[in-house]
Amino acid sequence: MNFEMIMAAADRLDGHARHTPLLSSPFLDRIAGRRVLIKPECLQHTGSFKFRGAWSAISALDPAVRDCGVIAFSSGNHAQGVALAAQIHGVPSVIVMPADAPALKIENTRALGAEVVLYDRATEDRDEIGEQLAIERGLTLIKPFDDPQVIAGQGTIGLEIARDAANLGVTQAELLVCCGGGGLTSGIALACAERAPGILVRPVEPEGFDDVARSLASGQIETNAALSGNICDAIITPQPGKITFPILKARCGPGLTVTEDEALRAMAQAFLRLKIVAEPGGAVALAAALYRADAIEGDTVIAVVSGGNVDPAMFTRALSTL
């Protein structure tokens, strides 16, 4: 995994992924006590950043291998990204999803032409299921985060942030990233290390599912005791990846955590002030920017809103916090 792979992924994504802008609001600045810039990847194809990594990985395959089809395991956003990228490439896709994933994500994945295989997150191993199906059907496994080409695709967000922040006169800032297994965070960290060395990337996770923060603190991979039971389903993973963790360890600052209530409040503020829709897991970085001010340094903070695939009931719950 290296910076050159991110640049190559950017070339393959050109004309396919949306270049999302940096948004701002004086109302959010007031809450945070500093300038806040928001990267709304909820506006990306399929409603999350995951399309970038999926397109990067699928487009990098040998055509003969790609034509046999792909498989992925995901709580929803990676699933939709892979399904759409596969559909555009004209190849079949099979998606292994937890049965408790939001109904909207399951429905959207099927609507994009993928075959969906559901599993019990608490009692079954998604890696094992995915690998078995890949062998049986001759499919190529597109991992959700611990894959160099996926990380490269997510790293293109870092390229955009570095360029757009510089155009706004921002060369020193903390960049908060919603973090599950670390694909998005590590990709952005690699890109910023090359293109914006004054920007410090920091992962943000839900309280009780802070495996990355604890891993960074201890210097070794730590695991989560539970794999469900939080509204931030999109970023709940057992532990950071074998590929992502060394990058996180070398390139990132300390991790941050937020509560479910703070994530919901950030969703409401994003809608009220920016007119964007965020899902709980996609709002944790913004929540940290707004409600963890004492843990952040500098006069500018950048937050990635990583996804917006939220059920109406959950979004209504978020708006009730206003």
Q: Which two tokens stand for residue 201?
A: 């990337």
Q: Which domain holds residue 271?
A: 3-49+147-320
CATH number of 261's domain: 3.40.50.1100
Q: How far apart are CA 176 and CA 303, in angstroms?
A: 5
The confidence score (pLDDT) of residue 115 equals: 95
Q: How far apart are CA 216 and CA 60, in angstroms?
A: 31
Residue 74 has pLDDT above 90, yes or no: no
Which of 120, 141, 162 is where one domain is finished? 141
Q: Answer yes or no: do 136 and 83 share one domain.
A: yes
Q: Answer yes or no: do 189 and 133 share one domain.
A: no
Which of 84, 112, 141 is where one domain is finished? 141
The residues near 154 (Cβ < 8 Å, ≥ 6 apart) are 49, 52, 53, 183, 184, 186, 187, 188
Q: Which two tokens stand for residue 170?
A: 């921002």
Q: Residue 193: enclosing H or E segment and its boundaries?
A: helix 183-195
Among candidates 320, 300, 234, 306, which has minimal Cα distance to 276? Answer: 306
Which of 141, 156, 171 is where one domain is finished? 141
For the stretch 174-222, pLDDT in tens is 999 999 999 999 999 999 999 999 999 999 999 999 999 999 999 999 9
Q: Answer yes or no: do 40 and 60 share one domain.
A: no
The confidence score (pLDDT) of residue 242 equals: 97
For the stretch 232-249, pLDDT in tens is 988 999 999 999 999 999
The confidence score (pLDDT) of residue 62 equals: 97
Q: Answer yes or no: do 71 and 176 share one domain.
A: no
Q: Answer yes or no: do 127 and 157 share one domain.
A: no
Q: Answer yes or no: do 198 and 258 share one domain.
A: yes
Q: Answer yes or no: do 30 and 74 share one domain.
A: no
Domain count, the chain: 2
Q: Answer yes or no: do 163 and 124 share one domain.
A: no
Q: Answer yes or no: do 121 and 245 share one domain.
A: no
Q: Answer yes or no: do 307 and 237 share one domain.
A: yes
Grade residue 104 by pLDDT with cuts at 50, 70 and 90.
confident
Q: How far apart are CA 41 and CA 18, in angstroms?
A: 9
Q: Answer yes or no: do 163 and 27 share one domain.
A: yes
Q: How far apart are CA 292 and CA 295, in angstroms?
A: 6
